Structure 1
Amino acid sequence: MTSVPIAEELLLLVYDNESGKATGSRIGLDLGMAAAVLVELALAGRIAYADGNIVVADATPTGVPVADEVLAKIEANVPHTPAAWVQRLRHRLRERVLSDLISRGVIRDVDDVEQEFIHVHRYPSVDASVENETRARLAAALAGEGAPDERTAALATLIVAARMEAALGLSGEDAATAHQKLERIASGAGFSGGVDLEQSTVRPSVALVVIALGKAIQTALGTPRPVTH
């Protein structure tokens, strides 16, 4: 696992580079990040979806601390459903990933005091190269420049499932169009259950995990608001 973790990519997309303020739903972000850690493990061949549960396929550490901590938890517990793991993992995960990004000099913590005693933290970018690369990959995928790789397709799927389209900086008709394109990317990769896994552009073992996690996020968030043109 040498690529930037998808959970970090989601987080960086949500926090504005200049203001350091988050856009969109916090609960959507937390659920998306929890699912992203599990997707990361699936991409690395460490977990699988079997009999309705997330199970360990290979307990070898990945070298990514957050992912390895989750892998150890899954191995040490009785099997749980994707929905259960997303709920178990989402608490304080964002704070952990923010701390990691701060320690690596990717973002900084600005502690503002409002109304004389309320502390409000902002996280503007210090090194925007990671986020810029993520946005470039998503832009290429949305433009239809070839079939996205597994990671990019998984990222697009989680953005749709967690309703994080606002993080793309789009509004109105552009946001609605991007939503439809992201859904097509997810479907084409076999991540939405609409394509035979044998025809999917990704590994079936990964697709099964992403499909299950996408459904878990959508169930947790409830009925979505309609995306209008």
Structure 2
Amino acid sequence: MTGVPLAEELLLLAYDDETGKATLPRISLDLGMAAAVLIELALAGRIAYSDGALTAVDPTPTGEPVIDDVLTRIVADTPHSPSSWVQRLRHGLRERILGDLCEQGVIESVDETELGFIRVHRYPVVDPSVEEETRQRLAVVLTGAAPDERTAALATLVAVLRMESALGITGEDADAARNRLEEIASGAGFSGEVSLDDSVVRPSVALVVAALGRAVEQALGPRP
């Protein structure tokens, strides 16, 4: 596997760098972590979407413990729908990935008590370079540049999870960013609006991302 895992990129975008607090609802983050890990497995050629279910096509470990644990579960289980898998996997993934980022020295874990009795756990950024690279990639594609496969998948997750505010974009700019993110999803073949033959990503990956995107959107419900 190459590059920073999608789940790590999403968490870094979703947590405020200074306060170390999440800027998205917990359910959104947890569903996003599950979807990101599953998409990572699709990018690595380990799982595929067929007949309404996600199945393992290659049990070879990727070398990333969190991702490989999910792969092991998929290999050992019967096929399940994308909706079923994101619900099965969403509990505990965020904490493990935050722990990995702490071990890498990208963020730090700060345990505090507010008002004398409310326990607060924060994760302020220590090394901003990883998040900066992620933001730069997204900024480039938001200006109209064609994304690569991994960035297209990341942009689609940002759109599905309604994370425009995490990009520091508000007002009309946020609307424009959302439109561009959805355009990327469409152009990459994730939304099903273009032929998979014309997709900028592999059809096998596009099918998984599209299916997971629908599953997460259904779980989150209509946009407010």
TM-score by length of 1: 0.96
Counterpart for residue 121 of structure 1? 121
Task: Name 2:134's counterpart in structure 1.
Answer: 134
1:121 alignment partner, SS class: strand
Say if 1:29 and 1:164, in contact at 8 Å, map to a contact too.
no
Partner of 1:63: 63
Deviations 1:187-225 (A, max 9, x none): 000011111111111100000000000000000011122
- State which drifts further: 77-86 or 20-29: 20-29
Q: Which residue of 1 aligns with 2:13?
A: 13
- Is the 1:25–1:164 Cα contact (8 Å) retained in structure 2? no
Aligned position for 1:182? 181
Regions of 4+ moved over 3 Å: none
Rounded Cα–Cα distance in structure 2 between residues aligned with 1:197 and 1:2: 24
Task: Supply the AA of the counterpart residue of 1:165.
Answer: E
Question: Which residue does 1:163 correspond to in 2?
Answer: 162
5+ residue gaps, structure 2: none
For residue 110 of structure 1, report the CA deviation from its aligned partner: 1.3
Cα RMSD over matched residues? 0.8
CA–CA distance in structure 2, aligned partners of residues 160 and 83 of structure 1 = 18
Unaligned ranges ≥5, structure 1: none
Q: Following TM superposition, by how much is the alpha carbon of 1:24 offset from its aligned partner in structure 2, in angstroms?
A: 2.2
Query: In structure 2, how many angstroms separate the alpha carbons of the residues matched to 1:28 and 1:171?
Result: 19
Query: Residue type of the partner of 1:212?
Result: A
Cα distance in structure 2, aligned partners of 1:85 and 1:166: 27
Q: How many residues align?
A: 224
Q: What corresponds to 1:112 in structure 2?
A: 112
Matched residues in 1 for 2:45 and 2:126: separation? 33
CA contact (8 A) 1:6 1:155 kept: yes
Distance 1:106 1:186 in 2: 29
* Whole-angstrom distance in 2 between the partners of 1:165 and 1:34: 19
Per the alignment, residue 94 of structure 1 pairs with 94
Identity of aligned residues (%): 67
1:50 aligns with 2:50: yes
Query: What SS is found at the alignment partner of 2:127?
Result: coil
